């Protein structure tokens, strides 16, 4: 039954089906995104039964794109990216290039035009930041070094896709698609130049005006104490800039919203802005994914199963394997390479945005769009299972000594202390595992007190920076005995573990006590659950952040002379 539906009926049907199928996906331990896409398929024109208004749904999807991209920009940190730029930038660009070449290659075999093949390959090249964040959070890896590396990799991919969104419209006619209306009658280079001038003008305006006005505006509204006005300000900035950039500068709404989020990130109130706008962003993001599902024709799974399998193989096997080998080539540990590979084994929101733009520009036929959507639906569904396979795969590789030697290259100069280190400097010292926000503060305190210590850290750039400062440090995963051996834990007085993740901590402590039964162990816990786990494993003295803050504040109160009578 096909019925014309009002805006309210469209929203109601979309939310109701998304809720039901989202709950079902969650019950099956699948990402809720899968449920939202299935809801779109059920109310789309390719399936029998209820069909909601596609035009209204697409308009709501545009709002979802604005808020989704705004949220990504709001969490974008150049500082975090710069810490891992040596791996994330070349790795992401290499992965995008490989997937684009593979996609273009299979498109050529299917007799698709070159322009179609390039856009199709790019759609297969970018993983979903939203899916990755949720997968890392489920595995307790979101705040870990491996999580930061994977997120930085995807941020670079997102930035590359923003550039593609900018350049695709002016290049569309040259690639065999529709010529943009503002590019008609002009050459390719003139169109590109005009586009770049508009982008430069928009970026300049955002840098000069946005960085001053928006943080001030947020602070001004926050002082009024109205939560709803603060939320309204955040949403108005996101949607207003996205729409204004599209109308005035010809910039896509996705790029405008992303840059609005980046500018808002500079404000001290950015975390509050993210939290206050989260419910509305989540709601409209659901509508976006539902609208994407409406574009999908599930009959392609029956008519073109081989092509679907090839697309899934490119996403789940080819690109992740290349990323795995590249991370190992940069001498990062095996578990880091497996985590990054697992995170890249899916595609999501940017692929949808690019597929929709490619279809609008006449570069992607319906079959190509369906293959992209099929690849996304299948790989997002599989991603949680891929992450669960990381530990078993790692254990299997560890049992094959020749394979470990081949993959983890033992001749790493950062994996062992220099020969110039004196024995006295690594006797009775502190082994500090992790040099993030907590470990960095401890290290600075030890340095100021003249206490000898050795840092064990997975981030190679941090290790290089510490060695440049004359601080003894080794690169690697402290869950590996070789790393603790190189940190000379056998002669250490104390082992301090500051990592936010806790699953590997009991094993680290077990290895350290085998090498040094008398070593004192201090461990950081980031939650009550982690505190209970670490205490039950008898890992040593465990510190919980909230508890230590409360103890310090209570001590200050006691020192101030407050008595029971007052």
The CATH number linked to 250 is: 1.20.1530.20
Determine the pLDDT at residue 105.
93
Query: Is 252 part of any domain?
Result: yes
Listing from the earlier edge strand, what are the strands of the sheet with 520-525? 473-475, 453-457, 430-433, 494-497, 520-525, 541-544
- 541 & 445 share domain: yes
- 303 & 389 share domain: yes
The rounded distance, in Å, linking the Cα atoms of 439 and 108 is 52
Determine the pLDDT at residue 4.
45
Task: Count structural domains, the chain.
Answer: 2
The rounded distance, in Å, linking the Cα atoms of 128 and 137 is 14
Q: Which of 394, 410, 427 is the last residue of a domain?
A: 394
From 380, 320, 310, select the one nearest 348 (Cα to Cα): 380
Which residues are within 8 A (CB) of 365 and not within 5 positions of it... i.e. 6 or more apart? Answer: 112, 116
Q: Chain-wide mean pLDDT for the chain?
A: 82
CA-based max dimension of the chain: 87
From 167, 219, 212, 209, select the one nearest 191 (Cα to Cα): 167
- 197 & 124 share domain: yes
Query: Is 404 part of any domain?
Result: no
**Domain around 218:** 56-289+298-394
Q: Going along 414-564, which residue ranges are E strands?
A: 430-433, 453-457, 473-475, 494-497, 520-525, 541-544
Instruction: Using 50 as the pLDDT threshold, list the residues of the chain that sit under it.
Output: 1-4
Query: Is 408 part of any domain?
Result: no
Query: Is the pTM here over 0.85, yes or no?
Result: no
Determine the pLDDT at residue 79.
62
Determine the pLDDT at residue 432.
94
- 435 & 356 share domain: no
Length of the chain in residues, anyone? 566
Q: Which of 378, 394, 410 is the last residue of a domain?
A: 394
Determine the pLDDT at residue 57.
73
Task: Show the DSSP H helices in 43-144 as ranges.
Answer: 54-74, 78-83, 85-109, 114-123, 129-138
Using CA atoms, how far residue 336 sits from 80, 134, 386, 390, 398, in Å, is: 17, 18, 14, 10, 14
- 101 & 240 share domain: yes
Determine the pLDDT at residue 266.
67
> What CATH number corresponds to the domain at position 439?
3.40.50.720
- 339 & 447 share domain: no
């Amino acid at each position: 039954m096909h019925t014309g539906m009002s805006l309210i009926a469209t929203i109601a049907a979309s939310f109701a089906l998304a809720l039901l199928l989202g709950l079902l996906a969650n019950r099956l331990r699948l990402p809720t995104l899968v449920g939202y896409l299935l809801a779109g398929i059920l109310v789309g024109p390719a399936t029998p039964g209820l069909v909601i208004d596609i035009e209204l749904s697409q308009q709501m999807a545009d709002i979802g794109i604005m808020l989704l991209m705004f949220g990504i920009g709001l969490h974008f940190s150049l500082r975090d990216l710069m810490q891992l730029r040596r791996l994330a930038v070349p790795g992401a660009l290499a992965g995008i290039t490989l997937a684009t070449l593979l996609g273009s290659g299979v498109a050529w075999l299917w007799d698709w035009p070159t322009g179609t093949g390039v856009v199709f390959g790019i759609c297969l090249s970018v993983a979903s930041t939203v899916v990755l964040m949720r997968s890392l959070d489920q595995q307790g890896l979101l705040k870990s070094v491996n999580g930061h590396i994977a997120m930085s990799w995807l941020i670079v991919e997102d930035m590359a896709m923003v550039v593609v969104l900018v350049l695709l419209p002016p290049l569309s006619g040259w690639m065999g698609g529709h010529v943009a209306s503002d590019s008609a009658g002009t050459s390719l280079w003139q169109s590109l130049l005009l586009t770049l001038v508009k982008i430069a003008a928009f970026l300049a305006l955002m840098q000069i005006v946005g960085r001053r006005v928006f943080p001030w505006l947020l602070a001004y509204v926050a002082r009024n104490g109205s939560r709803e006005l603060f939320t309204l300000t955040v949403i108005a900035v996101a949607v207003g800039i996205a729409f204004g950039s599209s109308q005035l500068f010809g910039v896509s709404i996705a790029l405008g919203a992303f840059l609005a989020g980046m500018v808002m990130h500079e404000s001290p109130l950015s975390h509050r802005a993210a939290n206050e706008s989260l419910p509305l962003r989540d709601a409209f993001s659901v509508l976006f994914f539902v609208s994407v599902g409406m574009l999908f024709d599930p009959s392609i799974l029956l008519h073109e199963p081989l092509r679907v399998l090839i697309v899934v193989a490119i996403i789940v096997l080819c690109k992740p394997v290349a990323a795995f080998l590249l991370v190992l080539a940069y001498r990062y540990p095996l578990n880091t390479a497996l985590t990054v590979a697992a995170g890249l084994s899916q595609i999501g929101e940017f692929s949808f945005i690019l597929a929709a733009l490619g279809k609008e520009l006449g570069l992607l036929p319906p079959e190509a769009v369906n293959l992209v959507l099929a690849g996304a639906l299948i790989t997002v569904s599989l991603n949680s299972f891929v992450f669960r396979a990381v530990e078993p795969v790692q254990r299997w590789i560890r049992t094959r000594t020749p394979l470990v030697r081949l993959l983890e290259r033992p001749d790493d100069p950062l994996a062992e202390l220099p020969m110039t280190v004196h024995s006295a400097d690594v006797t009775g010292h502190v082994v500090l595992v992790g040099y993030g926000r907590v470990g960095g503060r401890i290290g600075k305190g030890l340095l100021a007190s003249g206490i000898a210590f050795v840092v064990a850290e997975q981030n190679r750039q941090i290790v290089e920076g510490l060695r440049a400062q004359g601080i003894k440090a080794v690169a690697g995963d402290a869950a590996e005995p070789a790393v603790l051996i190189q940190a000379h834990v056998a002669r250490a007085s104390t082992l301090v573990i500051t990592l936010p993740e806790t699953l590997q901590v009991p094993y680290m402590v077990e290895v350290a006590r085998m090498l040094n039964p008398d070593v004192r162990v201090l461990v950081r816990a980031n939650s009550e659950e982690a505190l209970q786990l670490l205490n039950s494993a008898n890992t040593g003295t465990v510190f919980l952040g909230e508890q230590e803050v409360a103890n310090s504040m209570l001590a200050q109160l006691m020192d101030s002379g407050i008595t029971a009578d007052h």
